[in-house]
Chains A and B, each alone.
Chain A
Amino acid sequence: MSDRENQQNPLLRVSDLYVSYGKIAAIKGISFDVYKGEIVAMLGANGAGKTTTLNALTSVISVKSGEISLKGKNIKGMPTHKITMMGMIHVPEGRRIFPTLTVGENLRAAAYLYEKKDKVQYENRRDYVMELFPRLRERVNQMGGTLSGGEQQMLAIGRALITGGDIMLMDEPSMGMAPNLVIEIFETIQKIAANGQTIMLVEQNAMMAMEIAHYCYVLETGNVTYDGTPEMMKTNKNIVEAYLGS
């Protein structure tokens, strides 16, 4: 999406967001946009405020000031489940699947909103998830907690897809995973995006994230210090030195 400026209404617009933990300011007035169909990556080191940003977007933690608008509607301060209902789904850091529910139950619990009204939709989405992650189909009756880290990540993404929404926030999908699995997960993310899902990705693994992202923001101690397309990032000497290590 090189013609980013030409697009008009962003799916998600965040402006001047402030978040603080007690007296410590974690996010110091950041602004960013996510447009339909994009993969937007937010990069940054430990403690830069990436997870805090995502948690603030879905009201897992409260926002001090600023504007968050989803599809033109202000969602700041709304309860988490209502934000999810409006179409923003969040795959939380550390996966947070339901460990003593089976894989099938994990997925079914995510269909809370529409399961009763629309059984067909649930089945369609479930089939889609199973197609993306055949390993979940094999393990459908296994407890979520007994899955490996990579499979749990698949389950977490699958769960979010079942809930469904216009924009998917992903918090460190590569955390604590073997390198070959990381590649697999990123390929799947790309596949999901190719099917029309807008994705906002938060990652420490800048290399991988830049491979698949259309647009990047760099977060440093609560401020957006740089934004641009991955190609622009790769030509920026400072960024390359700080994040790509070469």
Chain B
Amino acid sequence: MISKKKNNLLGDVIPVIIIAVILISLKEFKLVSTSRLLILQYIGLYSIFVLGINMVNGYLGIFSLAHAGFMASGAYAAAISSRYFFKESWMFPLILLFGGFVAMVIGLIMSIPSFKAKGDYLAIITLGFSLIVQSFLQNWRFVGASKGINNVAKFTNIYWVFGCLLFAIFIVRKFINSKYGRSLKAIREDQVASELVSVDVKRAKTMAFAVSAFLIGIAGALLVHLLGYTSPSAYGYTNIVDGLVMVYLGGMGSITGSIVGATLWQILIQTLKSLGTWRWVVGGGLLCMIMIFLNNGLFGNKELSDAIRAIRYYFSRIILKKNSPEETRK
């Protein structure tokens, strides 16, 4: 039992160290251009965003469109806090936590309609919420109305982004492997049956929405402090669709899938930039192909560890076959 735990720990620590070394060498020794570095940061923060969406849309199985609203509230809360309260760069963690916390409180409120409403109706409610947040920000003078907030301190760097991503992965993994995580999957399958085996559905939904909104809020806070400005127009339909695309591309209910989905989609839209408007055609077409041929997304309900196990199993069989040809002839 203990040795197994140690093994897991080693398996976790080594990749983290490798990634950290890569990141440090990329940034400090300027191995890649600044624009590439920026894409990397996008990938990191959108991975957090997608992990948050996956919590509700993937593990809990509710089709929610509230993520744009959560991101907007996290981003704005963080931008306001860094302008008025936390002005020093060492206070950045506080800013991030504040953004996440504000989004979480709103997420708690947004979980209430999910107790009663179902399916398409809940999707409409959450869409309404996102649009309300957007138009509220558009009309609130204090935050610059439709012009948004400019001159936000650019605290975000690649270490913060990937540090937060690590934190997000840690939270999601802890949560999913807890009894609440298991109850989320049970509710996704059959809400009544899970109530009949004593699962507290309201509590599980509340927790899922809270964790989801918290992560999305942090992603918003990182984004604001990366770009240095924010405006309500960034949290409309485009943001909603972007989030959904990344979740479905990577696969529902999977941490690996969230990161892969965010990575692929960000790389895709950045590298296709030269195509102008046509990139949406190419990108959209690619998306259609993936959905047709891999209709669970790339990692639907699977993790990287499962994939590695499958590959290992596949190769071990090939090696076995080579070593013992007599056996295969039988």
Indicate if B179 sits at the interface (CB-CB under 8 A): yes
Indicate if B192 sits at the interface (CB-CB under 8 A): yes
**Which residue on chain A has the smallest CB distance to residue B183?**
A112
A residues 66-100 with Cβ under 8 Å of B?
79-81, 84-85, 89-92, 96-100
Indicate if B120 sits at the interface (CB-CB under 8 A): no
Which residues in A have their C-beta under 8 angstroms from that of B185?
98, 100-101, 105, 109
CB distance from B197 to the nearest CB of A (A): 4
Indicate if B195 sits at the interface (CB-CB under 8 A): yes
Indicate if A58 sits at the interface (CB-CB under 8 A): yes
Indicate if A113 sits at the interface (CB-CB under 8 A): yes
Indicate if B189 sits at the interface (CB-CB under 8 A): yes
Contact of B186 among A85, A90, A101 (CB under 8 A): A101
**Which residue on chain A has the smallest CB distance to residue B181?**
A109
Which residues in B have their C-beta under 8 angstroms from that of A97?
190, 193
Knowing A98-B186, A100-B301 touch, does A116 contact B195 (C-beta < 8 A)?
no
**Which residue on chain A has the smallest CB distance to residue B199?**
A112
CB distance from A50 to the nearest CB of B (A): 17
**Which residue on chain B has the smallest CB distance to residue A164?**
B198
Indicate if B147 sits at the interface (CB-CB under 8 A): no
Contact of A98 among B179, B190, B201 (CB under 8 A): B190
Q: How large is the interface on B (under 10, 10 to 19, 20 to 34, 35 or more residues)?
A: 10 to 19
Indicate if B279 sits at the interface (CB-CB under 8 A): no
Which residues in B have their C-beta under 8 angstroms from that of A115?
179
Knowing A80-B195, A109-B194 touch, does A98 contact B189 (C-beta < 8 A)?
yes
Cβ proximity bits A134-168 to B, threshold 8 Å, 1 near / 0 not: 00000000000000000000000001101100000
On whether the beta carbons of B182 and A109 are closer than 8 Å, the reply is yes
Which residues in A have their C-beta under 8 angstroms from that of B319?
none
Indicate if A194 sits at the interface (CB-CB under 8 A): no
CB distance from A128 to the nearest CB of B (A): 16
On whether the beta carbons of A84 and B198 are closer than 8 Å, the reply is yes
Which residues in A have their C-beta under 8 angstroms from that of B182?
105, 108-109, 112
Kindly state the separation between the CA atoms of A111 and B196 in the bound complex, as whole angstroms.
11
Indicate if B200 sits at the interface (CB-CB under 8 A): yes
Which residues in A have their C-beta under 8 angstroms from that of B198?
81, 84-85, 89, 110, 112-113, 163
**Which residue on chain B has the smallest CB distance to residue A162?**
B197
Indicate if A232 sits at the interface (CB-CB under 8 A): no
**Most central of B193, B196, B197, B200 by chain A CB within 10 Å:** B197
Kindly state the separation between the CA atoms of A97 and B186 in the bound complex, as whole angstroms.
9
**Which residue on chain B has the smallest CB distance to residue A100?**
B189
Kindly state the separation between the CA atoms of A109 and B182 in the bound complex, as whole angstroms.
6
Kindly state the separation between the CA atoms of A159 and B182 in the bound complex, as whole angstroms.
14
On whether the beta carbons of B196 and A92 are closer than 8 Å, the reply is yes
CB distance from B207 to the nearest CB of A (A): 13
**Which residue on chain A has the smallest CB distance to residue B61?**
A100
Kindly state the separation between the CA atoms of A89 and B201 in the bound complex, as whole angstroms.
16
Kindly state the separation between the CA atoms of A84 and B195 in the bound complex, as whole angstroms.
8
On whether the beta carbons of B193 and A98 are closer than 8 Å, the reply is yes
Kindly state the separation between the CA atoms of A245 and B185 in the bound complex, as whole angstroms.
45
On whether the beta carbons of A81 and B193 are closer than 8 Å, the reply is no
Kindly state the separation between the CA atoms of A81 and B115 in the bound complex, as whole angstroms.
14
Indicate if A207 sits at the interface (CB-CB under 8 A): no
Indicate if A240 sits at the interface (CB-CB under 8 A): no
CB distance from A28 to the nearest CB of B (A): 25
On whether the beta carbons of B197 and A160 are closer than 8 Å, the reply is yes
On whether the beta carbons of A109 and B196 are closer than 8 Å, the reply is no
Which residues in A have their C-beta under 8 angstroms from that of B186?
98, 101, 109
Cβ proximity bits B148-192 to A, threshold 8 Å, 1 near / 0 not: 000000000000000000000000000000010011011001101
On whether the beta carbons of A99 and B189 are closer than 8 Å, the reply is yes
Which residues in A have their C-beta under 8 angstroms from that of B183?
109, 112
Kindly state the separation between the CA atoms of A97 and B189 in the bound complex, as whole angstroms.
8
**Which residue on chain A has the smallest CB distance to residue B186?**
A109
A residues 12-45 with Cβ under 8 Å of B?
none
On whether the beta carbons of B196 and A58 are closer than 8 Å, the reply is yes
Indicate if A181 sits at the interface (CB-CB under 8 A): no
Which residues in A have their C-beta under 8 angstroms from that of B194?
98, 109
Which residues in A have their C-beta under 8 angstroms from that of B199?
81, 109, 112
CB distance from A87 to the nearest CB of B (A): 10
A residues 114-142 with Cβ under 8 Å of B?
115-116
CB distance from A81 to the nearest CB of B (A): 5
Indicate if A60 sits at the interface (CB-CB under 8 A): yes
Kindly state the separation between the CA atoms of A204 and B186 in the bound complex, as whole angstroms.
29
- Besides the known contacts A80-B196, A98-B194, A100-B189, 6 further A-B residue pairs in the complex with CB atoms under 8 A apart: A58-B196, A81-B199, A90-B196, A99-B189, A116-B179, A160-B197
